[in-house]
Structure 1
Amino acid sequence: MKQLPPEFYSLMEELQAVDFVLVELTLYLDTHPDDYESIRQYNTFAKQRGLLKKKIESCYGPLQQYGNSYSGYPWNWDDAPWPWQL
């Protein structure tokens, strides 16, 4: 497996933390749908996630399959490490 720079791993760690917050806020909002502050937090983290994903993919390649991420040329889905290998 190819070695990637330390920035890749710190960006992936940040993305995982943001994903965790989004999952927790989703679960909370399922039972508290009128909590304006939590909805605001959710939208803030959703925007942050989009920016992180874009930054990671522009430097290191796609994170998701099935049209959720663009592929570079040549097809680069077999470039390791894959997100679940971290």
Structure 2
Amino acid sequence: MKKAGDNYYDLLLEIQQIDFVIIELNLYLNTHPNDQAAIAQYNEFVQRSMQLKKNFEALYGPLTSFGYSFSPTPWQWGKAPWPWQV
């Protein structure tokens, strides 16, 4: 298994934590669709997640494939340890 530096793991952990909050807010909003404060939080965390993923991919390569991430030349998908390998 490939190894990465501490920053790789720290950034990946932060992405996972933010995405967990997004999932929980999504579940809450399914039953409370008019909660404007929760919607604002959801949108804030989605924006933060998108920025973290953009930063991660700029440093370490794509988090996902199949049309969710752009790739520079040369193809980057196999370069860094994949998120499920760490």
TM-score (norm 2): 0.92
1:40-79 matches, within 5 Å, as 40-79=40-79
In the alignment, the residues of structure 2 paired with residue 69 and residue 56 of structure 1 have an alpha-carbon distance, to the nearest angstrom, of 11
Give the share of equivalent positions with the same residue, in percent: 50
Ranges in structure 2 where 5+ consecutive residues have no aligned partner: none
Q: Which runs of 5+ in 1 are unaligned?
A: none
How big is the shift at 1:72? 2.5
Hey, what's the Cα distance between the residues in 1 that align with 2:68 and 2:34? 29
Alignment partner of 1:82 is 2:78: no
Q: Secondary structure of 2:76's match?
A: coil
In structure 2, how many angstroms separate the alpha carbons of the residues matched to 1:7 and 1:80? 13
Letter paired with 1:84: W
2-structure distance, mates of 1:72, 1:32? 41
Runs of 4+ displaced beyond 6 Å: none
CA displacement 1:9-57 (0-9 Å, x = unmatched): 0000000000100000001101100001100000000010011001000
| Amino acid aligned to 1:57 | E
Higher relative contact order (CA 8 A, sep 6+): 2
> What's the TM-score, normalizing by structure 1?
0.92
